[in-house]
């Protein structure tokens, strides 16, 4: 069974599925939705990109009764970025059910506005464990009516030290609820959490057929510490000039300060590179994610935790500037490339001191690591590392009733740009981002400054 219409779903949900253009269920959905809709607990091994969000989103929306003003579904996520993404996905699925109230409650955000929006119980809360626990403790959030608890990316939540918070939350919500646990990896600790919080769960593991298995080519490169940056620049340039031009790359560093240093150095060398880590203001982080997703950043340098928020289906190239501390993290990193039929390349730089970590990975892989010799030569003349797009920011957003169509209209009007030169448009509460073909970005900027958007003049700037 792969058709959504075979499932006992509310017509409003089937309508959303159709509007989203989902023709058939993904394997995770096909295996997990029937038991979830039957009320069973489910533990599913599912990666980002597998369609897991829609799987638990549909299931929880099927369970809630919008006419009862009570918290009925709680989704716990490891990061704010993921919580935002999950909230967005559930809102889309709920688009045809009137009056569903969903709140996103994450740490790192001021408490006041969250308390204000909790004056009436939402039906659904999506949040990070620490903050959700805090609200339950304070009594600003009421867990007594929860029917469905979702643990999304449970392995990451454990990595981030949220095990205790999760246990405490489970102790504070309705005793009888359904628990849906999603995790990319099935470590022993995940089994232990499942045993603590689930009842007779249905186990969903998707065997990826060899023909569909993502093709990931791994390479390990031995470098001197002082050569790491040259090696990185060379690898990025070389891989970019190949026949299959690799337009974007994700570079991992183990420490935040190195993320900044590497991004700055790449920028100095002419790459469209940006840094992403947890020390940054939320607004700056959002901006970086927008710029990477709309292709105006070619190289994103990030810590493992920060990279979790990336909603990019398949990156052509992933580089570990520092080798991951453990094999699990390494597996997560390389899993960011080569999804669903696309070939990906994962390169890991290794210094002599880091060699034991490579040996650990080798043991887990149970096969010899593919080492590659790299001769570091003089930098090439041609700059292939510029992103194809550039981002313009408009200091107006949803609060000004600005919609993507208004921006598109202002840019494509008479004597304007062709639609093909305009990329992704993201509208936030108070600002909007639009990607423009790099060569035409200045022209677009002038046009937006000279003209009007929706009959008004807003401040517009170009980023980078
Ligand atoms: P996720 O694994 O939840 O991060 O989802 C990955 C992407 O797949 C999201 O962009 C979804 O909108 C999309 N998606 C989810 N379910 C389906 C489906 N049945 N058919 C096509 N796309 C889907």
> What is the CATH number for 94?
3.40.50.300
Q: Which two tokens stand for residue 121?
A: 């119980």
Same domain assignment for residues 149 and 194: yes
Label residue 381 by pLDDT band (50, 70, 90).
Answer: very low
- Asked if residue 361 and residue 290 are part of one domain, the reply reads yes
Contact 196, 325 (CB under 8 A): no
pLDDT in tens, 128-187: 999 999 999 999 999 999 999 999 999 888 877 889 999 999 999 999 999 999 998 777
pLDDT at 243 > cutoff 50: no
CB count within 10 Å of CB 180 equals 27
Structural domain includes residue 237: yes
Q: What is the CATH number of the domain that holds 454?
A: 3.30.70.330
If asked whether residues 15 and 48 sit together in one domain, one would say yes
Query: Where residue 327 falls among pLDDT bands split at 50, 70, 90?
Result: very high
Say how many Å lie between the CA of residue 406 and the centre of ligand 1: 28
Tell me the C-alpha distance between 193 and 203, whole Å. Answer: 14
**Interval 225-249 mean pLDDT:** 76
Question: Do 322 and 282 belong together in one domain?
Answer: yes
Q: How far is the CA of 55 from the centre of ligand 1 (A)?
A: 9
- Which residue range(s) make up the domain with 109? 4-205
Are residue 263 and residue 149 in the same domain, yes or no?
no
Residue 372 lies in a domain: no
Q: Which residue matches tokens 């935002």?
A: 84
Residues 271 and 177 placed together within one structural domain of the fold: no
245 and 351 assigned to the same domain: yes
* Calpha distance 87→127 (Å, rounded): 9
* 375: in domain: no
Percent of the chain with pLDDT over 90: 63
Number of domains in the chain: 3
What average pLDDT does this structure show over 108-118? 92
> Could you tell me if residue 379 is inside a domain?
no
Shared domain for 186 and 234, answered yes or no, is no
Kindly state whether residues 396 and 356 are assigned to the same domain. Answer: no
Q: Is ligand 1 within 6 A of the CB of residue 128? A: no
Tokens 């949220």 correspond to: 162
Q: Report whether 75 contacts 60 (CB < 8 A).
A: yes
Does residue 183 sit within a domain? yes
Using DSSP, state whether 181 is helix, strand or coil: strand
Residue of minimum CA distance from atom 10 in ligand 1:
49
Radius of gyration over every alpha carbon of the chain, rounded to an integer in angstroms: 23
Q: Is residue 259 part of a domain?
A: yes
Domain membership of residue 382 (yes or no) is no
Which strands sit side by side in the sheet containing 460-463, from one edge to the other?
422-427, 432-437, 389-394, 460-463
Among 72, 410, 372, 438, CA closest to 219? 372
Residue finishing a domain among 156, 175, 205: 205
The pair phi, psi for residue 125, each rounded to 5°, is -120, 135
Residue for token digits 């470590």? Answer: 187
End position of a domain, from candidates 188, 205, 222: 205
- How far is the C-alpha of 24 from the C-alpha of 21, rounded, in Å? 9
CA distances from 91 to 2, 59, 211, 443, 461 (A): 23, 13, 34, 36, 30
Residues 117 and 142 in one domain: yes
Residues 158 and 222 in one domain: no
CB 18 within 8 A of CB 95: no
Closest CA to 456 of 395, 413, 414: 395
List % helix, strand, coil for the chain (3-state, nearest 5).
Answer: 40, 20, 40
Ligand 1 centroid distance, CA of 54 (Å): 7
Nearest CA to ligand 1 atom 19: 25
> Closest Cα partner for 463 from 436, 443, 424, 423?
436
Total number of residues shown for the chain? 464
Nearest-angstrom CA–CA distance, 234 and 227: 11
Comparing 396 with 48, which gets the higher pLDDT? 396
Q: 226 lies in a domain?
A: yes
- pLDDT tens digits, 51-100: 999 999 999 999 999 999 999 999 999 888 899 999 999 999 999 999 99
Q: Can you tell me which atom of ligand 1 is nearest the CA of 25?
A: 19
User: How are beta strands 215-222 and 343-350 bridged, if at all?
Assistant: parallel
Residue 383 has pLDDT above 50, yes or no: no
Task: Judge if 103 and 138 occupy the same domain.
Answer: yes
Asked whether the beta carbons of 59 and 4 are under 8 A apart, the reply is no
Q: Which of 205, 237, 258 is the last residue of a domain?
A: 205
């Amino acid at each position: 069974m792969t058709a959504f219409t075979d499932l006992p779903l509310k017509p409003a949900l089937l309508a959303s599925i159709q509007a989203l253009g989902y023709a058939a269920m993904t394997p995770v959905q096909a295996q997990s939705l029937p038991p979830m809709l039957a009320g069973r607990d489910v533990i599913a091994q599912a990666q980002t990109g597998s369609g897991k969000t829609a799987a638990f989103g549909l299931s929880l929306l099927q369970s809630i009764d919008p006419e009862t003003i009570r918290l009925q579904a709680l989704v716990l996520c490891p990061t704010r970025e993921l919580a935002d993404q999950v909230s967005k996905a559930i809102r889309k699925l709920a688009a045809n059910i009137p009056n569903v109230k969903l709140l996103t409650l994450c740490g790192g955000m001021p408490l006041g506005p969250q308390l204000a929006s909790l004056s009436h119980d939402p039906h659904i809360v999506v949040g990070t464990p620490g903050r959700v626990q805090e609200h339950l403790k304070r009594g600003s959030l009421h867990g007594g009516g929860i029917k469905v608890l979702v643990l999304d990316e449970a392995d990451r939540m454990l990595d981030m030290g949220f095990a205790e918070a999760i246990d405490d939350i489970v102790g504070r919500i309705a005793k009888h609820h359904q628990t849906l646990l999603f995790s990319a990896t099935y470590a022993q600790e995940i089994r232990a959490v499942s045993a603590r919080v689930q009842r007779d769960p249905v186990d969903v593991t998707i065997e990826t057929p060899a023909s569909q298995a993502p093709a990931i080519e791994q390479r390990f490169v031995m470098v001197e510490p002082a050569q790491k940056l040259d090696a990185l620049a060379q690898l990025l340039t070389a891989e970019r000039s190949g026949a299959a031009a690799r337009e974007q790359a994700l570079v991992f560093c183990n420490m935040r300060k190195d993320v900044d240093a590497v991004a700055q150095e790449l920028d100095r060398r002419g790459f469209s590179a940006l840094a992403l880590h947890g020390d940054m203001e939320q607004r700056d982080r959002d901006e970086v994610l927008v710029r990477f997703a709309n292709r105006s950043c070619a190289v994103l340098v990030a810590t493992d935790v920060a990279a979790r928020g990336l909603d990019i289906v398949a990156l052509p190239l992933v580089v570990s500037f520092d080798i991951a501390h453990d094999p699990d993290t390494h597996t997560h990193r390389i899993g960011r490339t080569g999804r669903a039929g696309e070939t990906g390349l994962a390169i890991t730089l290794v210094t002599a001191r880091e060699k034991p970590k490579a040996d650990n990975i080798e043991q887990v892989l149970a096969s010899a690591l593919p080492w590659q010799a790299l001769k570091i030569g003089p930098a090439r003349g041609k700059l292939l590392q510029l992103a194809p797009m550039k981002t313009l920011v408009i200091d107006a957003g949803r609060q000004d009733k600005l919609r993507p169509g208004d921006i598109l209209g202002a840019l494509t009007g008479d004597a304007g740009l062709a639609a093909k030169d305009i990329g992704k448009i993201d509208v936030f509460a108070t600002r909007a981002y639009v990607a423009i073909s790099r060569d035409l970005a200045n022209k677009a900027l002038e046009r937006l400054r000279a003209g009007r958007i929706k009959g008004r003049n807003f401040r517009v700037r170009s980023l980078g």
